[in-house]
Structure 1
């Protein structure tokens, strides 16, 4: 190992939360402080240490990189509460599909493909054949494996896993995890859309108003982050500079402790923040306030629109509830209802009446659809005040009537009335935030 690698390895052995200093590491490993400093900075890039203001540099748990496509075999082990018997080198590979090994050896070979996992009991011949064909093996029922199979798994670097669960339970757990992963894939985060620091403009606190205007002319932007030693210390906008001398330094005009976002935040939450605060740009920072880049309102709106146009792959609970909501047919709509739904068994509470959460979800969707149909604007519900007058029972058909009674550039107020047999049973006032024009 080089001295640099030795320091990285030493840092990895430290417990989470341990405080790190350049002088301490240099003294402990008998190296120069310059070497220690460079290695600690590299460790910060690797995500195993973090520098926190007024705390110092500490050892942190490395955040696993999120893969939006598939689960890894290591994640499968955690889901099924399994034990890895061999093939540890392949745990970071992704699972493409799983196979139930309840068939003859000859019949199952046609299902073998790279990235597959076969779920099988104590059948050594099947285990051997699967590993030879590049397929990982999951042994159910708490059985182990022979040393010959373990050696084969290590040779091919294919995970060999054992679990105490039965085949049905394991298949259910894996299938549920794969479904959840597909839902996560549809959730766009800041990580997917932000502009990295190398491709964006920023100012130092010692730059002047003249520099700001020069950058603004080059990029067309009116808002820039202010950075010192790679740390975000403020944000300056064109409004802050109105009437100021061209030689005034930015540090005197910037807004300190600005609103920031992290890479793991969803685009929907960032959209809400931007519109509520009327911001065109937000800095993207690490935990130690190191500036990673910026995200603009244009980037967010484009991502939101792209997400809405994607085909739905799997259904969330929200989708399951709203799937029963129908537009009221105009031919029988003498009372001008907008939507109707028949209460299903999965929508009720333990008391046999509609679940409060389900009713709120239905009302939210009705308010959203009303605004979209009437104004062509999309929206995000910010507040819902619900008054519930009469119980709604299993099997009841209820109707919804929505009306927009206030709208400005940012938000909309809607009233949603719920009827059963032409009697008012609930009324909600819904405050929605306009997030984009469709």
Structure 2
């Protein structure tokens, strides 16, 4: 085994998040600084390590060696802004699996399959192994491919794509695209939750003369299936030709209204039900608060883990506090905690504090954050919250993020909540 291969094998053995340097590798393996430097650069192209400003070079290869998804070769080429070197006829095919080539060539056999896409650098042996298993190839680092490989790929209609980006960046772009598609398909809307129950709806023509037992404080009025408005159930017995005058505020949702929009409506107006109305005015049905505020599983990422599970496995909850050690997957390119991940921690803390106070149906209306110091990778963080003001429909929650007793961030949340009956 060459010194270069020995260094790559050593990097393979390091855990995710481990820091490495030229001097460290040279001293540990007894090789020259030049050999260590070249090997680290090759490892970066392969997606094994990443250099972060003010942090250093860290092992970043994911534990999962592949990404599951449903993108086509053409979609991948578009999002990475790549160049098709061969196999253009197969671009419209759907990819069964994305395989990160940051492993030994003989280990690829475990993952390669027909219709997969191998993400790899300038490794001809791995590229040939992909074609033998009828997998496409995405070559990172701006490299091309041998003429024989391109000829074979063309004959098999297997796309060979080249990009100037490194393996880690390409995998991140693809993961983000898959997550975006997943979020679009998994967004819960009123159309998914709508139900049609007669005890919430009164048709002034169809139900005229019928005995009606309302199931809520408000009743939805229709006429031949067309939505008219919402009326207090206590006013039903007084219905006459002056129906519009008896209507309360006209609060409706469309089938495309999101879950967050429904939560906002119900919290703001203290409603149990909201009518769902089609564009042509037809009543589709109603959504009930129990469905809108029900706890739901978070969306799954390509790795099979949910977006919340990755963070929740690191969280420790203590009364109105959340303790966490900032892991590499939570940081941005500068090694500081990403704002999106910090917001997720705040939302998780809000859930803990409100649930501890018997509040389960709520909506975060306003969130203001003030960052005082930067939170770095591997830093121990404690986030605690206190309810400052509790009204009939709203509450104010103060959040403070501390590390070693020092304040790093503060946040103020205005939250609408629904009184459980």
Which bracket does the TM-score occupy, shorter chain normalised? 0.5 to 0.7
**Shift, 1:324, TM fit:** 6.5
> Contact 1:379–1:435 (CA<8 Å) still a contact in 2?
yes
TM-score normalised over the length of structure 2: 0.54
> Contact 1:343–1:393 (CA<8 Å) still a contact in 2?
no
> Contact 1:225–1:283 (CA<8 Å) still a contact in 2?
no
**Shift, 1:244, TM fit:** 1.4
Q: Is residue 2:291 matched to residue 1:300? A: yes
Match of 2:229 in 1: 235
SS at match of 1:375: coil
RMSD: 5.9
Pick closer, same or farther for the CA change 1:221–1:180 going to 2, 3 Å. same
Pick closer, same or farther for the CA change 1:379–1:135 going to 2, 3 Å. same
TM-score normalised over the length of structure 1: 0.53
**Shift, 1:121, TM fit:** 6.0
Which runs of 5 or more structure 1 residues have no equivalent in the other structure?
1-68, 329-337
Count residues in correspondence. 337
CA distance in 2, matches of 1:269, 1:164: 42
Encode CA deviations 1:25-59: one digit per residue, 9 max, x unaligned. xxxxxxxxxxxxxxxxxxxxxxxxxxxxxxxxxxx
> Contact 1:186–1:307 (CA<8 Å) still a contact in 2?
no
Give the alignment of 1:326-341 within 5 angstroms. 327=318, 338-339=320-321
SS at match of 2:296: helix
CA distance in 1, matches of 2:399, 2:408: 11
Which runs of 5 or more structure 2 residues have no equivalent in the other structure?
1-67
Match of 1:96 in 2: 97
Give the alignment of 1:31-430 within 5 angstroms. 70-73=69-72, 74-83=74-83, 85-86=86-87, 91=92, 93-100=94-101, 104=105, 108-120=108-120, 130=130, 133-140=133-140, 141=142, 143=144, 146=150, 149-153=153-157, 159-178=159-178, 184=183, 188-190=187-189, 193-195=192-194, 208-211=204-207, 223-224=219-220, 234-237=228-231, 239=233, 241-245=236-240, 248=241, 259-263=252-256, 265-279=257-271, 280-283=273-276, 285=278, 293-298=284-289, 300-301=291-292, 304-307=294-297, 313-315=305-307, 319=311, 327=318, 338-339=320-321, 365-375=348-358, 377-383=360-366, 400=384, 402-403=386-387, 405-408=389-392, 410-414=393-397, 430=413
Encode CA deviations 1:368-419: one digit per residue, 9 max, x unaligned. 422211325353322357899xx668789878462464243x4334456788
Higher RCO, Cα 8 Å, sep 6+: 2
CA distance in 2, matches of 1:308, 1:119: 28
SS at match of 1:211: coil
CA distance in 2, matches of 1:80, 1:165: 8
